[in-house]
C-alpha cells in the first residue's frame, strides 16, 4: 500500500488481518448506545487503512461480520448491515482515488439484494487499483471457507476435471478465499480477547498473533505501530529450527 514517512524498521508485514472487537464495550464505557460504538468502529477503518498504506503494508483484511454474528439481536444486525452499505457507498471512490482495491469475502446470499449490489458496485469501482488491497470479511467463517474449497474440489473430481490424487494442500489453497494474496503475516485482535474466532483458519496457519486490550474504536496509528514492532521481534521459523539450535521446532 505504498510507503511514506514512517520510522518503523524492516520487515513490515505484507498482510495484516484484524479482528475488530470492542465496539460495544467502547460505547458502554461512555454511556452511549451500542450503535454509537459500531459507528465509531466504522470510522476507524479509514484512518487505519491510511496508516497501513503509509507503512508499506500491502494487504489489510478486516473481520467485519462473522457467520455466527447472525445470532445477534435483529436490530443490531440491521444496524451493522446499514453501516456496511453506507461504508461501501461512501468509501469506494475514495479508495479508487488512492489506488486501493476493495474485495469482500464470505457468503453473499444471506445479504439483502440492495447490499449485494452495493458490494458488487464497490468492487467494480476499485477493480483496476494496484496500490494495495482492503479485504472485508463479511458473513465469513474460516470453517466455511475450507468447506467450500473442499466442495469445489469434489465437484471437479465428479465432473472429471481433476483426479482424486491431485488434491493436496496446494489444490485446497487455490480454492480458499484470498488464494491470490500473500499469506497473513500478522493477525491482530483488539479488546483483550485472545482467540481467533473462526477467522481465516487456513490463511493464518503461520501468522504471528498479537492481542491488545485496546478497544477497536481506539485502535489508532500508535496501536498499529505497537503491533508491527512486536511482529518485528518475532523469530519466524515456519517449522524450521531456531538459529544456532540443533533441536527441531514445530513453529
Euclidean distance between CA atoms 126 and 133, whole angstroms = 10
Residues with Cβ within 8 Å of residue 108, at least 6 apart in sequence? 116, 119, 139
Task: Tell me whether residue 165 is one of the annotated catalytic residues.
Answer: no
- Cα dist from 64 to 56, 69, 229, whole Å: 23, 10, 25
The b-or-e profile of 125-161 (16+ CB within 10 A means b, else e) is bbeebeebbbbbbbbbbbebbbeebeeebeebeeeee
How many other β-carbons are positioned within 10 Å of the β-carbon of residue 163?
9
Task: Tell me whether residue 109 is one of the annotated catalytic residues.
Answer: no
How many other β-carbons are positioned within 10 Å of the β-carbon of residue 113?
7
**In 3D, which of 132, 134, 149 has the Cα closest to residue 201?**
149
Euclidean distance between CA atoms 85 and 188, whole angstroms = 25
Catalytic residue among 3, 23, 47, 69: 69
Catalytic residue among 3, 21, 47, 218: 21
Known catalytic residues? 21, 69
Amino acid at each position: 500500500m505504498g510507503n511514506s514517512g514512517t520510522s518503523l524498521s524492516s520487515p513490515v508485514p505484507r498482510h495484516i488481518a484484524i479482528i475488530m472487537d470492542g465496539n460495544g464495550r467502547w460505547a458502554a464505557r461512555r454511556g452511549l448506545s451500542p450503535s454509537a460504538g459500531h459507528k465509531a468502529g466504522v470510522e476507524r477503518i479509514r484512518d487505519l487503512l491510511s496508516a497501513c498504506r503509509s507503512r508499506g503494508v500491502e494487504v489489510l483484511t478486516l473481520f467485519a461480520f462473522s457467520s455466527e454474528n447472525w445470532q445477534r439481536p435483529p436490530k443490531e444486525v440491521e444496524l451493522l448491515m446499514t453501516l456496511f452499505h453506507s461504508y461501501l457507498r461512501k468509501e469506494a471512490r475514495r479508495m479508487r482515488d488512492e489506488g486501493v482495491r476493495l474485495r469482500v469475502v464470505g457468503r453473499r446470499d444471506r445479504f439483502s439484494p440492495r447490499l449485494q449490489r452495493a458490494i458488487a458496485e464497490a468492487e467494480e469501482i476499485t477493480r483496476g487499483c494496484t496500490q494495495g488491497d482492503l479485504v472485508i470479511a463479511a458473513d465469513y467463517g474460516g470453517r466455511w471457507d475450507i468447506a467450500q474449497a473442499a466442495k469445489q474440489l469434489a465437484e471437479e473430481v465428479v465432473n472429471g476435471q481433476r483426479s482424486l490424487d491431485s488434491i493436496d494442500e496446494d489444490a485446497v489453497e487455490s480454492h480458499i478465499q484470498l488464494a491470490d494474496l500473500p499469506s497473513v503475516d500478522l493477525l491482530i485482535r483488539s479488546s483483550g480477547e485472545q482467540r481467533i474466532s473462526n477467522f481465516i483458519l487456513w490463511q493464518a496457519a503461520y501468522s504471528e498473533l498479537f492481542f491488545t486490550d485496546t478497544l477497536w474504536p481506539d485502535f489508532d496509528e500508535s496501536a498499529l505501530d505497537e503491533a508491527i514492532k512486536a511482529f518485528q521481534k518475532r523469530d519466524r521459523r515456519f517449522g524450521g529450527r531456531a538459529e544456532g539450535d540443533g533441536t527441531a521446532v514445530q513453529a
